Structure 1
Amino acid sequence: MKARFLEVVKDNKVFPIGAGNWLRLHPEDRIKTPYKRWSFDSDTTRMPEFTAPGLGRESSIVTVDAEFGENANGVLYALGGASGGLTVYMDDGHLVYEYNMMIIENYQARGPDRILHGKHRIEIDTTLQSPKPLSAADVLLKVDGKEVARTTVARTVPAAFSASETFDVGTDLGSPVSHAYAERRPFKFDGKIDVVKVDMK
């Protein structure tokens, strides 16, 4: 029976068995988009993760040009969901970055000062420390070119946050990446997003 099983498996190209672990060791084999630069607006929602920018697993710079109200609230952009993802959002005027590492670990950076009413440019600069799977990443937050916060994500996802969650601009559809706004989901941004630009390094 074992010999027959191995024969059928080979004929049907099932090997390697247990390949679900393969991408953890060889993330370069994951399905991914060939693009290195994107420009999104607030109509961008429910973009499947495998077609979206590789945020959280590759070095990148995300630039958000938006108009903020007083004590702004809501998601600027999010990728993934409650089981793992990253989100950048406003919390009563404060800029917050959060990396949900598969519920196992959580990393945050929060700007200490409220962003004033008006148009501003937000930059999230992520640099992986190594090309190896599960590499740490340094994340820098800027408002109008000035650093406001930073954090180090000790371990990043090697392949993807999920198989079913998505990339959203101006909201977090599906399950919420952050427990901080779970009761307010989809936590739509209450300002106006002009553009979200993503450049992979």
Structure 2
Amino acid sequence: MIVFADNDILIKLAGCELLIPFCEAIGASTDIFVTEAARRAIPKQGKKKLAEAESLEQLKVFMENTKTMQQALLQTDILDQLVETPNIDGGEAFLILAAYNEPNSKVATGDRRCLSSLLNTPALNNIANGLFGRVYTLETAMLILIEKLGFDFVNQQVINRCVVDGTLNLAFGSSRSMEHAKKCLSSYCSELFPLLSDSHLILKPSYQ
């Protein structure tokens, strides 16, 4: 498995000390690619956003096991089309196209607005269809971790986190149940359902 990852989801998972466990859970510990820009930016962002030494160490170990994507392999015309789409920046466009060109790969991203634009822009239908079932978001990463490691463990890791995230605030906490967490996480990513890997873990709204 090849996983292309962006900065945000990596730092959020590292801030919960769940980055390495997530990689292990999806069987991608040594098959992860980041952009050259991300390789330079992630360590700097980690130092700014992560206050705990253990979280920084997870991020360091992760980065030591990543590879760099080769920009020369990408089609510049499609890349330009992605960048011109609202809410898709250059880094996300690069990840999307790299994954599209590798049919057995997956994408890990924390940017739901980017994915929503990809899914709802008719001109990008071919690319979106090519990524169906191949995307991890922070929410689905947490659902996978709950499934693999148990709610109590994941909940405690999130409670003790050293990174800020509104979704995690709403989904987890000392008074939260597993049912609440799963419903909350599912509600944030249900509109992206066709793109998501492990979509069987997403709970359908009760009115459906």
Larger RCO (CA within 8 A; separation ≥ 6): 1
Higher relative strand content:
1
Higher relative helix content:
2
TM range (shorter): under 0.3
Q: TM-score, normalised by structure 1?
A: 0.23
